[in-house]
Structure 1
């Protein structure tokens, strides 16, 4: 088990906390909490069951935050997800955090 920490510039603030995905084989869970102080960055903590992929995680997250600069405290709990699943879950969390809920 490895824990990685990253910080990326971000200028959008989520409207609500979000939980998407599940920690299961080949999947991951993303939790997003609005920032408690400065809203100019995203703090990302990745807990992964697969050691040695620091560079891959950094590049995938850098690409995501370049397109979706959503501030807050991000927690990613990974159980061997592919890069495609990582991108899907991150985008699902961002969409859920910024789209108005419908009755």
Structure 2
């Protein structure tokens, strides 16, 4: 039974090695999780900025088209008045 201390020593080494491996795996998992969270936050921020930019561009486009329609309508009203003899005479 002279091998018993050696076996016990090997068992403790194996147990410590297993704990170290588990801790390393846990740390890698935590790092990967944090990295995924950071990427998600970055993607969300980028999407929000893109949406805001698109919203602003759409508002500008709609305003521009609204002004064009208003100007066309005013021109049409002026043409009708002139045709009917009701236009401003200068």
Q: TM-score, normalised by structure 1?
A: 0.20
Greater percentage in helix: 2
Larger Rg: 2
Q: Which has the higher contact order (CA 8 A, sep 6+)?
A: 1
